[in-house]
Structure 1
Amino acid sequence: MPLPVRHATLPDMNEFELIAHYFRGWQGTHPDLILGQGDDCLIWHPSRATVMSIDTAVAGRHFPEQATGAQAAQRAFLPALSDIAAMGAEPAFFTLALTLPRPLNERWLDAFAGRLRELSESYGLVLAGGDTTSGPGPVISLQMHGLVDTPLRRDGVQPNDDLWVSGLPGRAAAVLPAVLNPAGASVPPDWLDAYWSPQPRLELGLRLIGLASAAIDVSDGLAADSGHLARASGLDLLIDIDSLPQAPSFEGYPKDQVTSWILSGGDDYELAFTASPRQRQSLKALAAALALPLTRIGQAVAGDGQALIRHNGEVKALDQAGFQHF
């Protein structure tokens, strides 16, 4: 979109020119958004309960410093949207706080803004406002807003509930060494897709309303995030190692390594959720309808709120550290 006042070159752009050039004129609107970009605050008058989540992606911490602008946009936007899916909400709008180093990298910024626009329009979200500033390196903060009538929460696990997980977790963790060192050994393409283009399970979240008792997105590792469900609900979640779903591309890799990727790797953005055993057939039908694997991997049992593993009949506590953001 051409600048309204003067056509500054990229290195000379101030904050307002940068916003006007890269982040205005996007398609999309929402009936609850009364006033969006261009004022001191946006004005939102929700017709339903609003869920909000904010995520910050830092270069060198959440995506490699050598990532392209498009890759950085995906690594920031898609994981942030996964939180909306975990609540069973419909996406509505988002805000963006963007920190960039000087001098501005035109190729990186073009690719970032272009991919962010594609994603926002694809998922039906409106960019309603935000902020830009300069700093030592790229930092992307996205606040997602969604609408929901009956949100899925972490504290709803009931005794004897089944524990389920969507998709094929572990591949993003498996590919991380290759992402950090692209000159290394080749890896399966689905591993790279899992890292750079995680799929927020929005449709699954919406359709779990009325079926699931609790849910969480798997961002820090299946073990750690199952532990969050367990602690919030005051029950233990017993994970059966032999029931974990395994991607076909894991074939030939050591079983212990694969198990570690699945349980502790993080960055999967699948949904872990609990449901009554009475819902098993409904969940199998839902998996077929969505063409998405839904795997029953454990059970809620009485305890003090931790994730446990069962292997060869032996039950033991599980390391729940997961990925640490700080």
Structure 2
Amino acid sequence: MNEFELIEHYFRGWRGAHPDLILGQGDDCLIWHPRRPTVMSIDTAVAGRHFPETATGAQAAQRAFLPALSDLAAMGAEPAFFTLALTLPSPIDHTWLEAFAGRLRELSEHYGLVLAGGDTTSGPARVISLQMHGLVDAPLRRNGVQPNDDLWVSGFPGRAAAALPAVLNPAWASAPADWLAAYWAPEPRLELGQRLIGLASAAIDVSDGLAADCGHLAKASGLTLVIDTDTLPQAPSFRGYPEEEVLSWILSGGDDYELAFTAAPGQRNAIAALAATLNVPLTRIGQAQTGDGQALIRHNGEAHALSETGFQHF
């Protein structure tokens, strides 16, 4: 099967369309004529770096697609279309590719994105690059934090990091089902991001660790964000584990794809109502103050710079 036969067999004929997509797959370029401002992001997932080399095709599709989609959630964008660049070792494992393409199709149709084009090639390892495109009139950004803003986070961060030993060595370690789900199938907070427009002053998705990503908000806004460890949301499945280990998972573990955001104190009631409407936990975990653009951790009443950084790509 050559490149064109592979594309035709696995990636053509998917359901879905978008009125702004004039021409999709099949030409040298796609043609896009947006009615609203377009936001774009690109993520690359490499076997052995972003997902285990032993991951099934379906698992790899989830680990590539869902984190990439989370970037649109952080901007408050409505998903529109995506492109795929796929590198596969030779000879092609068609069982793996069938599962990958099938799960990718399910996810794209579930979240309402059109596969508008891409590229395939052969290489030494599986590499999945996804460029996501969304529409939003007033995107949430990282640099909007204001002094005295509250700092919030969605869901229960830390579970994906807690699951990692079981993901990497399933024969030697086990993990609760919600930890494994957080790693293999994170839920992009798309509706939350869209509903935060007008409520939040800044937002980011938690991909490299809560403390590290709050540090990005602080640096972009030129303020200090203080995270109170006493207020961090802890998943019920964390009960019984040592406090130091749990705090490390929550603060330094990556791959959560929850949203961290800031908002004025006057928005607390509206955010509480939004949490109830969406049935998504939203927890106030700190506050912004004048400072030098870093995130600090307040533990036992004292503020500290975090010694551990988040996930590093290099």
Task: Tell me which interval the TM-score lies in, with the shorter structure as reference length.
Answer: over 0.9
Are residue 87 (structure 1) and residue 63 (structure 2) matched?
A: no
SS state at 1:299 partner? strand
- Alignment of structure 1 residues 1-326 onto 2, 5 Å: 13-319=1-307, 321-326=309-314
Post-superposition CA distance 1:78-114 (Å, at most 9, x none): 0000000000000000000000001010110000000
Question: Which blocks of at least 5 consecutive residues in structure 1 are unaligned?
Answer: 1-12
CA positional deviation for 1:319: 3.4
Using the alignment, how far apart are the partners of 2:101 and 2:37 within structure 1?
30
Post-superposition CA distance 1:241-264 (Å, at most 9, x none): 100000000000000000000000
On the 8 A contact 2:165/2:173 being kept in 1, the answer is no
**Runs of 4+ in structure 1 displaced over 2 angstroms?**
none
SS state at 1:238 partner? strand
Using the alignment, how far apart are the partners of 1:16 and 1:106 within structure 2?
15
CA positional deviation for 1:313: 1.3
CA positional deviation for 1:318: 1.8
Using the alignment, how far apart are the partners of 2:198 and 2:306 within structure 1?
30
SS state at 1:93 partner? strand
Q: TM-score, normalised by structure 1?
A: 0.96
Number of residues of Structure 1 aligned to a counterpart in Structure 2: 314
SS state at 1:175 partner? helix
Equivalent position amino acid for 2:230 in 1: D
On the 8 A contact 2:202/2:263 being kept in 1, the answer is yes
Residue equivalent to 1:3: none
Equivalent position amino acid for 1:24 in 2: R
Root-mean-square deviation (CA, aligned residues, Å) is 0.6
Using the alignment, how far apart are the partners of 1:157 and 1:320 within structure 2?
23
On the 8 A contact 1:223/1:319 being kept in 2, the answer is no
Equivalent position amino acid for 2:294 in 1: Q
Give % identity.
83
Post-superposition CA distance 1:282-319 (Å, at most 9, x none): 00000000111000000001100000011121111123
SS state at 1:212 partner? coil
